[in-house]
Amino acid sequence: MSEPSRTALVTGGAGGIGSAMAEALIDDGLAVAILDIDEQAAAGVAAQINARCGAERVIAIAGDVADEGCCNDAVAACVDRFGSVDVLVNNAGIGVSSIRPDAERNHPSIEEIDRALWDRFFAVNVTGPLLMVRAALAPMRARGWGRIVNNTTSFFTMLRVLPYGASKSALESMSAIWAKELEGTGISVNVLVPGGPTDTPFVGDDSGIPRDKMLRPAIMGPPMRWLASTASDGVTGQRFVAALWDAGLDDARAAKAAGAPIGWPDLAKTVVWPD
C-alpha cells in the first residue's frame, strides 16, 4: 500500500495521536510535514523519524493552526519541500485538561467557561481545520486527488463536555458539509477518531481514568494508512472508529466494520422543508 510520491501534513503531529499517525504514514512510504505549536517537540519527532528512516522524509513546522498566516505558510513549506500536500490530517486540538487537571472527570461548568476560553477552543478546534483545508485545497485540486482526515471525538463527549464537545461537534458537521461539496473532485473528506480516552498528554493524569485502561495512540495507524492510500478512493463522508478497526481483517472489511456516515444523517430525514 506504499505511496512514495505522496505527502501528508499532520497538524498537532509532535506527540500522542498525531505522531502515531505520522509514524504510520512514514512507514507506508509517504513524506510527512509535522505542524505543531511546540517547535522543539516537532523538531524532536522529525529528527527521530528521519534517523530511523535514514532519509529526510519528515520536516517540522512550528505554528498555531488558529493563525491563518501559519496555516498558509505550513502548506507552502510542505509544497516547497516535497512538491505537494496530498493528505491533510487535522489533528491539532485543545482539550479540557488544559483548563484544569481533573476536567476530564469533573467537566467544566457554564460559569467556568469565559469568553476567552470559549474563543480559544473554537479557534483551535474549529477555525484551525477550516484554515488548513482552505490552504491545502489548491494543491489538491491541481493534482485532482487529495485526502482530508479530521479528528473529531466520540458522540458521547460531544453531548457531555463543554467547550470541547461543542467545538468537535462543529468540526463533525463541517466534515460532512465538505465531503458533499468536494464530491467528485477526487478529494475525500473523512473523520477518524480513536473511540475513547487515549493514553496521551491530552488527557491529564488527574482524569480519573487509569492509564492502563486507555486506548493506545498506535491504533490510529492502520485506518490512517488506508485512508491516505489509493485503496480508499471513492470513500468519503465517513467516520471511522480506530478502536473498532480489526487489523486481522483486510482493509476493506475492517473499514466496513469500523465505519459509519459522518455526523447524524438520520436526523436530517426529520426536517420539514418547503417544496
Q: Which helix (H) or strand (E) holds 238?
A: strand 238-241
Give the residue extent of every domain in the chain.
7-270
Closest CA to 241 of 253, 257, 227, 228: 257
Q: Are 147 and 86 in contact (CB under 8 A)?
A: yes
Q: Per the residue annotation, which of 82, 122, 164, 178 is the catalytic one?
A: 164
Residue 248: how many CA atoms within 13 Å on its side-chain side? 1
The pLDDT of residue 180 = 98
Confidence of residue 195 (pLDDT cuts 50, 70, 90): confident
Is 97 among the catalytic positions? Answer: no
Which tens digits make up the pLDDT trace of 74-120? 999 999 999 999 999 999 999 988 898 888 888 999 999 999 999 99
Out of 3.40.50.970, 3.40.50.450, 1.10.150.120, 3.40.50.720, the CATH code matching 7-270 is 3.40.50.720
Calculate mean pLDDT across residues 165-186. 98
Relative orientation angle of helices 68-82 and 128-143, to the nearest 10 degrees: 30
List the alpha helices (DSSP H) in 30-95.
39-53, 68-82
Closest CA to 233 of 186, 191, 175, 192: 186
- With a CB cutoff of 8 Å and minimum separation 6, the contacts of 205 are 101
